Amino acid sequence: MPELDTGFTENVISIDRVARVVKGGRRFRFRALVVVGDKSNKVGIGIAKGADVTTAVSKATDIAKKKLIAISVIDGTLAHEVYAKVGGAKILIKPASPGTGLISGGVVRALLEAVGIKNALSKSLGSNNKINMAYATLEALSSIEPRENWVTTKNSKAKKPVSKEVAEVAEPIVKKPIRQSQGKPVVAKKAKVGIKK
């Protein structure tokens, strides 16, 4: 994972040779998937094509730098469990205690390292397509809520305000008391069913 001049780390996840069919044959190019992060809380993903590997990687790195997003990291791990699905890829990431390390696969591990997460557990539950896995991991990390957004105090009201319409519908229905005669409950009489002669 080489260091860039701007303090970001670059990690090339995959390089694939792709072909485009044109009149007279095929044209081969290279596609690079690159992850860029500052190991504190920012990470970005870039995908680009080029005539050679170097061109594809440099293009993908520039794209990743332009698409950096901030992730909430607490004590080297996640604030809470996250899950995301992109295409057929399903990624589940859980926080872990200090000393656990990163228990994850190649694509997820590269993103977690780029963000600066040191302790986490992850599991891929769907497709193993690297591009979809990278975007699913990025979506899961971006869905982390910061601590100040979900921790409540004793004085704060956790319940959401209820509108007047909902309050009227939710009012309990008051049942009328059962009619009694001389202290005994009224019992319905059974109707006699007979055959007329």
The 10s digit of each residue's pLDDT in 34-76 is 999 888 888 899 999 998 899 999 999 999 988 888 888 888 8
Q: State the pLDDT confidence band at 166, using cuts at 50, 70 and 90.
A: very low
pLDDT digits (tens, 9 = 90+) for 79-123: 888 888 888 888 898 888 888 888 888 888 888 888 888 888 888
Nearest to 140 by CA among 72, 60, 85: 85
Q: Which of 48-52, 97-101, 132-136, 193-197 has the lowest mean pLDDT?
A: 193-197
Residue 100: exposed, middle, or buried by beta-carbon count in 10 A (0-12, 13-18, 19+)?
middle
Using the predicted structure, report yes or no on whether residue 160 has a pLDDT greater than 50. Answer: no
pTM above 0.75, yes or no: no
pLDDT over threshold 60, residue 15:
yes
